[in-house]
């Protein structure tokens, strides 16, 4: 197995860091059912957990296979010794992963992680298996705020979902609605009525599709966007299900009913969806680009230069692309511990993450002082 973060307790601050830990934990394999996973719900008394672990130690004495019995009992004893002395679990609970990773038969490595997640663990669970069970942590990655998006223009619409750090178009609607008719006379009035009827039919069709999509998932809010007055006309028709109407949080302009329109809708509705991972990551990249243009000597990039800035204490905001890999991310998390800086992982699904990888080597930092400060202090150049 490739390098891994050292054994210890890790308080994970955001979902991107959590995803990195999950991907690392998935790689471990034990001899038979010797890898132990324990989920502890928030505020649970730790003495209760220790007592449970010791009872399991006694029960595991009945395991027939000598190697399995030895590994399980050794792991349980180490877990009890590690966690005893604490009064209760952290507010969000904790996940314990412990056991002997098998590189090859007879070649084992002790693995011990306590992960304090960014979202609550609401259950107590104990599992012995050939692998660690990360399902509860994985559920946290998917149980994020979700927003529905309708971008509508005359005769065309797209229905999309913004979930965590990524969005996707799930439905496209096309329907012929003729443009405005400027000729006079009775035929013009008839044409106008026909056009209005077609527009109403189109709105109903879009509403039905939006209802089918948004009622199947836990939507926190809905953004309706598009060019001109079509978006307002659509809402005035009242075709959204009554359970969805109060969830419309923003009506914003967008260029067109396609993927570009979805991105513009998200951008124009940013103030209404500040808690979205996608929006937060884009704002951080915008902040980086602003500094590059306005205060370029307050920015460094590339792994070596960013690490120097962190070590010297002048890094203020550190951005790392999820594309650098799990070990790199966790290593930077460890390095940032106890330092006065903000570390942010930019998810792959955000378009700017590719730019962060391709242009800046996956690492960039906004500094508290000009980059030449490190050089003047004898640390060597760090400027980009």
CATH code for the domain of 364 = 3.30.1330.30
Please check whether residues 171 and 105 belong to one and the same domain.
Answer: no
> Residue 199: what pLDDT?
81
pLDDT tens digits, one per residue of 23-72: 899 999 999 999 999 999 998 999 999 999 999 999 999 999 999 999 99
Question: Which of the four pLDDT bands, split at 50, 70 and 90, describes residue 352?
Answer: confident
Has residue 190 got a pLDDT over 80? no
Has residue 382 got a pLDDT over 60? no
User: Has this prediction a pTM greater than 0.75?
Assistant: no
Domain that holds residue 321: 279-376
Has residue 127 got a pLDDT over 50? yes
Least confident span in 52-56, 86-90, 154-158, 371-375: 371-375
Least confident span in 6-20, 43-57, 68-82, 202-216: 6-20
**Cα(13)–Cα(112) distance, integer angstroms:** 19
**Cα(369)–Cα(341) distance, integer angstroms:** 13
Has residue 177 got a pLDDT over 80? no
Please check whether residues 241 and 150 belong to one and the same domain.
Answer: yes
- Domain boundary among the residues 89, 107, 142 is at 142
Has residue 277 got a pLDDT over 80? no
Please check whether residues 103 and 20 belong to one and the same domain.
Answer: yes
Please check whether residues 183 and 221 belong to one and the same domain.
Answer: yes
Instruction: Give the percent of the chain with pLDDT over 90.
Output: 61
- Domain boundary among the residues 142, 168, 184 is at 142
> Where do runs of H (alpha helix) occur along the chain?
15-25, 46-59, 66-83, 135-142, 186-214, 230-236, 242-245, 259-268, 277-294, 303-312, 326-336, 351-360, 372-376
- Domain boundary among the residues 274, 291, 324 is at 274
Please check whether residues 15 and 135 belong to one and the same domain.
Answer: yes
β-strand partners of 301: 364
- The mean pLDDT value for 100-122 works out to 93
């Amino acid at each position: 197995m490739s390098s891994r973060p050292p054994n210890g307790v890790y308080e994970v601050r955001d979902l991107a860091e959590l995803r990195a830990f999950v991907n690392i934990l998935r790689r471990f394999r034990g001899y038979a059912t010797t890898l132990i996973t324990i989920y502890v719900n928030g505020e649970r008394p730790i003495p209760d957990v220790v007592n449970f672990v010791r009872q399991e130690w006694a029960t595991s004495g009945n395991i027939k296979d000598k190697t399995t019995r030895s590994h399980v009992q050794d792991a349980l004893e180490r877990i009890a010794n590690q966690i005893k002395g604490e009064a209760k679990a952290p507010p969000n609970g904790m996940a314990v992963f412990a056991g002997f990773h098998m590189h090859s038969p007879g070649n084992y490595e002790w693995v011990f992680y306590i992960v304090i997640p960014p979202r609550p663990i609401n259950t107590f669970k104990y599992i012995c298996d050939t692998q660690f069970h990360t399902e509860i942590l994985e559920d946290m990655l998917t149980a994020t705020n979700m927003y529905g998006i309708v971008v509508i223009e005359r005769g065309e619409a797209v229905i999309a979902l913004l979930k965590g750090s990524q969005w996707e178009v799930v439905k496209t609607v096309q329907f012929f609605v003729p443009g405005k008719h400027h000729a006079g006379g009775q035929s013009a009035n008839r044409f106008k009525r026909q056009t209005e009827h077609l527009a109403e039919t189109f709105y109903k069709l879009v509403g039905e599709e939006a209802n089918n999509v948004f009622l199947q998932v836990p939507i926190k809010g809905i953004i309706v966007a598009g060019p001109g007055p079509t978006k307002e006309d659509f809402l005035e028709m009242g075709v959204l299900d009554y359970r969805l109407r109060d969830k419309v949080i923003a009506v914003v302009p967008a260029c067109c009913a396609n993927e570009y329109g979805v991105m513009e809708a998200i951008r124009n509705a940013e103030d209404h969806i500040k808690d979205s991972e996608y929006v937060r990551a884009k704002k951080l990249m915008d902040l980086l680009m602003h500094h590059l243009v306005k205060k370029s000597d307050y920015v460094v990039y590339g792994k070596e230069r960013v690490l120097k800035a962190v070590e010297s204490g002048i890094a203020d905001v550190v951005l790392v692309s999820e594309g650098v890999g799990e070990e790199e991310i966790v290593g930077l998390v460890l390095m940032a511990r106890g330092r006065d800086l903000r570390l942010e992982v930019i998810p792959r699904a955000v378009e700017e993450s590719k730019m962060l990888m391709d242009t800046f080597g996956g690492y960039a930092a906004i500094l508290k002082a000009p980059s030449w400060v490190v050089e003047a202090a004898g640390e060597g150049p760090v400027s980009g």
